[in-house]
Copies of this chain bind each other. A is one copy, B any other.
Amino acid sequence: MSDATVAIVEVGPRDGFQSIGPLIPTDRKIAVVNALYAAGVRRMEATSFVSPSALPQLADAEEVLAAAQALAGLDAQVLVPTARHAERASVAGAKHIAFVLSVSERHNRGNVRRSPMESVQEYRAVIGSLATGMKIRLNVATAFDCPHEGRIPIADVMTLLDRLVPIEPEAEIALCDTTGRVTPDRVEALFGAVIARYPQVRAWAFHAHDTYGLGAANVLAAWKAGVSIFDAAIAGLGGCPFAPGATGNVATEDLAWMFEGMGVRTGIDVHRLASVAEEAATIPGAQVGGRVRDALRARACRIEAVT
């Protein structure tokens, strides 16, 4: 056993819930947040402040954020796409803002009706208006691959980061594999390149999807490249509701299982987390993924059958 640690940022309540069609009762969301915390989760993307008409599932952002903030020692970030929504989040008491933009022009326009460079200006406005002490995370979507434009060259990511990094070097920057189509070699290459080019950046994070079964392999590649902060969603929530069978984020319980198995501490109780995953998987409309949940349940059945 080493004394190495990684931080897992649970994004199920945001990236997971937002892709679920039927509205999840706020009480149930808060129950999941509390259960995740009880299993050892200490970082979470708790919700998103976006237009409630565009994303009715997250219209209860204020309530979910308040519940998350009530948990001692939980670092609850909230996703915002514009300065206006950052202001709403701030008024609601957010202490950690995650600003999102995409490298891909078409993906960014689809999400926020702006060019990436317009989103850079929006980010500058967000940073300029932040209250003292507010933590900032920058989520760079389609950093590897875009559903519309395909493979994103490293140079395109650099062009954007050259503008973003100087605005706030204290920001933690997450590079996101939005489609799940990146392979470990490219994860390693991009993180190697950005860590070398921007030594002033406080921390890098990786947001992996498991759509093509490479979530854990890609996380491992990022970890080997020096990253130690990883987004993941309980039960692998985050699949596209219009693409049955295509799962979403890498499952939190799978990452916790992998790292704990390697002697790298996550602070998470894997078996307890697997129970939370079982519960989250029963949310109507949930597209689930990951393997550890099934494997531990099957193992428990087998042990029961033997004894």
Residues of A within 8 A of B (CB): 180-181, 183-186, 210-217, 219-221, 240, 242-247, 251, 254, 257-258, 261-263, 289-292, 294-295, 297-299, 301-302, 305
List the B side residues contacting A212 at CB < 8 Å: 254, 257-258, 291-292, 295
Partner of A262, one of B180, B184, B254, B294: B184
Contact status B291-A184, CB under 8 Å: no
Bound CA span A181–B261, Å: 9
Inter-chain contact B220/A299, CB cutoff 8 Å? no
Which of chain B's residues has its CB closest to A301's CB? B243
**How far is A214 from B217 in the complex, measured between Cα atoms in Å?**
7
Check B251–A213 contact: CB distance below 8 A. yes
A286 to B254, CA, bound (A): 23
Q: Is B305 a contact of A217 with CB atoms below 8 Å? A: no
Contact residues in B for A257 (Cβ distance below 8 Å): 212-214
Complex interface: chain B residues within 8 A of A217 (CB) = 216-217, 219-220, 258
**Total identical chains:** 2
> In this complex, which of A181, A254, A289, A299 has the most chain B Cβ atoms within 10 angstroms of its Cβ?
A299
Whether B210 contacts A291 by the Cβ 8 Å rule is yes
**A243 and B302 contact, Cβ closer than 8 Å, known pairs A212-B257, A213-B251, A220-B220:** yes
Determine the distance from Cα of A220 to Cα of B294 in the docked complex, in whole angstroms: 23
A272 shortest CB reach to chain B, Å:
17
Q: A175 to nearest B CB, angstroms?
A: 17
Minimal beta-carbon separation of A220 from chain B (angstroms): 5
Query: What chain B residues lie within 8 Å of A295 (beta carbons)?
Result: 180, 211-213, 245-247
Minimum CB distance partner of A293 in chain B: B245
The minimal Cβ–Cβ distance linking A148 to chain B, given in whole angstroms, is 10
Contacts of A301 in B (CB 8 A): 243-244
Of all chain B residues, the one with the shortest Cβ separation from A250 is: B213
User: Pick the contact of A220 from B221, B240, B251, B289 — CB < 8 Å?
Assistant: B221
A298 — which chain B residues lie within 8 A by C-beta?
Answer: 240, 243-246
Residue pair A261, B183 in contact (C-beta under 8 Å): yes
CA–CA, A247 and B254, complex, Å = 14
Interface centre among A213, A215, A245, A261 (most CB of B within 10 A): A213
Q: In the complex, what residues of B have CB within 8 A of residue A291's CB? A: 210-213, 247, 289
Contact across chains for B240 and A185 when beta carbons are under 8 A apart: no
Using Cβ atoms and an 8 Å threshold, which residues of chain B touch A215? 213
The 28 sampled A-B contact pairs (Cβ below 8 Å) are A183-B261, A184-B258, A185-B262, A211-B295, A212-B257, A212-B258, A212-B291, A213-B215, A213-B251, A213-B254, A213-B258, A213-B291, A213-B292, A214-B257, A216-B216, A217-B217, A217-B219, A217-B220, A240-B298, A243-B299, A243-B302, A246-B294, A246-B295, A246-B298, A246-B299, A247-B291, A247-B295, A289-B291
